Structures are given as structure tokens and as C-alpha cells.
Amino acid sequence: MADEIEVDTDDLERRMKGAMESLRHEFGSLRTGRASATMVEPIMVDAYGSPTPINQIGTVNVPEPRMVTINIWDKGLVGKAEKAIRESGLGINPQLNGTIIMLPIPELNEERRRELTKVAAQYAEHARVAIRNVRRDGMDQVKKAKSAGMAEDDQKFWESAVQDLTDKMIAEVDKALEAKQAEIMQV
């Protein structure tokens, strides 16, 4: 019986990778001076009486490195989409061309770049905390297994496995943060 006790490291790894995926998504929404379709994903437009993501009322394209275009399908929503972009806090001034909203991405100044690196660091810290919470859950599983009769050697093995997984994922977060900060500071 005691030999069959195992800790579900696959579940822990899946949850840690979920935190990494969330971090990548948050990094994608950070404006780096380069156009990206993900930067407009959080924008909600009041369409047909309910808040709707902008990418569900039009086609988002990146035709050139410093331009995002949104081709709104319903002419009646163009004004609402433009207003939502202005109020989103992206710091981009939309230009209308019929049903197409063009978003020229301006150069970032040094101060704004530093602010964005701090925001990226906050996102990374949230991911680290999420990964550590998963680690704590894994260690709790090991403790429960120990009280259920797990041998001390097995306990040490599983604790080590959980810690190694945690260290690997934290290193991935640090690497992703370093790359994002370098991308933001690139002129």
C-alpha cells in the first residue's frame, strides 16, 4: 500500500505551465513600440448592448511593423470602437478610413520604456507567485502521503521532484522576463 503512494507531478507541471502561458499572454499585451495584434485584445467595445472584445467585431491585422488595423464589420460600431480605443489607455490615437481603424504605433520614449519594464517585472512576479502556490500544493500532497504511510526516502524523492519542477519553471519566467525587458528597451 505505502509503495503505491505517488504525487501527481504531471498535474503540478500543467498548472505551472498555465501560469507561464498567462505570463506570455500578459507580455503580449505590453506595448513595445512594435505593432502586435495582442495589444488590442483587452479592449472591450459596447456592441449591441454588451461589452464585446474588439477582435469579435472586426478583423485585427498588422500590415507593417508600426501599424495595427482593425476592419470593423458593422459600420454602426466604428465610432464605438474608436472611442473604446481612445479610452483604453494604450496611448494610441486611432485614425479612421471608412470602416478601417488604423492604429499607428508611436516610438516609446526612455521614461515610458522604463515604466513598461517595471510592469513586465510585476507580471513576472505574479507568475512566480502562482508557480510557488502550485509548489506549496505539491508539498502538501507529499505531507499527506507521508501521513498515509509514505517512506521517508520516497518523501525526499517527491519533495525534490516538486522543487526541481518549481526551479525549472521559475527559471523560465526569469528568462521570459529578461527577453521582454530587452525587447522593450530596444530602440
The confidence score (pLDDT) of residue 33 equals 66
Helix 9-29 with 110-147: angle, nearest 10 deg: 170
Q: What is residue 2's predicted lDDT score, i.e. its pLDDT?
A: 43
Q: What is the pTM of this model?
A: 0.67
Q: What is the pLDDT along the chain (187 residues), one digit of tens a residue?
A: 344 567 788 888 999 999 998 888 888 777 666 777 777 877 888 888 888 888 888 889 888 888 889 998 988 888 888 888 888 767 778 888 888 889 888 777 888 788 888 888 988 999 999 999 999 999 998 888 888 888 888 889 989 999 999 999 999 999 999 998 888 887 6
> In the chain, where do the E strands start and end?
44-47, 50-53, 58-64, 67-72, 95-97, 100-104
Q: So what's the pLDDT on residue 4?
A: 55
Q: Report the pLDDT value the prediction gives residue 48, as an integer from 0 to 100.
A: 83
Residues in the chain: 187
pLDDT for residue 1: 39
Separation of CA 165 from chain center: 20
Distance, CA of 164 to CA of 133 (rounded, Å): 15
DSSP summary character for residue 63: E
19, with CB counted inside 10 A (0-12, 13-18, 19+), is buried
At 47, give phi and psi (nearest 5°): -115, 125
Backbone angles phi, psi at 88, to 5 degrees: -75, -15
Residue 44: its pLDDT value, please? 87
Please count the other Cβ atoms lying within 10 Å of the Cβ belonging to residue 29: 16
